[in-house]
Amino acid sequence: MARRPIVGITAYGREAGPRGIQFSLPTAYVDAVRRGGGLPVVLAPGEADPQACLEALDAVVFAGGGDIDPQLTGGGHDTNYAVDAERDRFELGLLAGSLEREVPVLAICRGLQLLNVARGGTLHAHLPDVFGEGVAHRVPPLDPVQHTVRLEAGAGLGRVFEAGELEIASWHHQAVDRLGEGLRAAAFAPDGVVEALELEGAPFVLAVQWHPELQDEPGSPQLGLFQALVELARSHRR
């Protein structure tokens, strides 16, 4: 029996917990990788050589979480939260190695933003200031909210989703402003917010602004993202 592809999932940064400082990750990411056919491994930030992690991995999920350092994104806002330099350094190094080695990547929410920043792009610091309140991308107390996204014609995500319009779970207050080098917007919210990215010449990169791990029940189109990642990992391993 062939072994399941090993999929690393980036963890949140250090934070105070009931028994001291801890790393954490919502279990939905782990469950979604399992449902997609992968063997999940949680990756804690802090490694001196992030790319060394790739020796043991077949694919990487860059999870959501707090904001990237505003010095990297093009400007801050008083709503910035959970900025973590250690996590930024770790994930930027891990992403650079993944792209160089063509290790399959699924970048989710913060992960998509990290991809854009790593390629020299910038972020809108707070969406309501730019796009207004016509589409809620996050609601108090920071709960996910449902809205539609439209896939661009010819987008590579078409190999995952049959429909051109999707109902997704959104949970963010920042998004892509200026696109990074080699990136193309692959999906949009009704208010024009970029909801997915593609990297030219890199079919092994899947990047979505929404949270597919919150909609990964059997039969859900969103589970297809994790299944696609695992299939890419199998192909990459051969």
Residue 237: pLDDT band with limits 50, 70, 90 = low
Residue 142: pLDDT band with limits 50, 70, 90 = confident
pLDDT at 233: 97
Helix (H) / strand (E) element for 226: namely: helix 223-237
Residue 157 has pLDDT above 80, yes or no: yes
Q: Which residues contact 132 (CB under 8 A, 6 or more apart)?
A: 191
- Indicate the residue type of 130: V
Residue 1: pLDDT band with limits 50, 70, 90 = low
Average pLDDT over residues 51-66: 97
- Span 69-121, pLDDT tens digits: 999 999 899 999 999 999 999 999 999 999 999 999 999 999 999 999 999 99
Helix-helix angle 223-237:27-35, to 10 degrees: 60
- Span 177-224, pLDDT tens digits: 999 999 999 999 999 999 999 999 999 999 999 999 999 888 889 999
Average pLDDT over residues 153-161: 92
pLDDT at 144: 86
Answering whether pTM is above 0.85, one says yes
pLDDT at 218: 80
Residue 173 has pLDDT above 90, yes or no: yes
Mean pLDDT score of the chain: 95
Nearest to 192 by CA among 180, 207, 209: 209
Structural domains of the chain, with CATH = 6-237 (3.40.50.880)
Burial of 118 from C-beta contacts in 10 A (0-12 / 13-18 / 19+) = buried
What is the set of active-site residues?
109, 211, 213
Average pLDDT over residues 30-51: 97
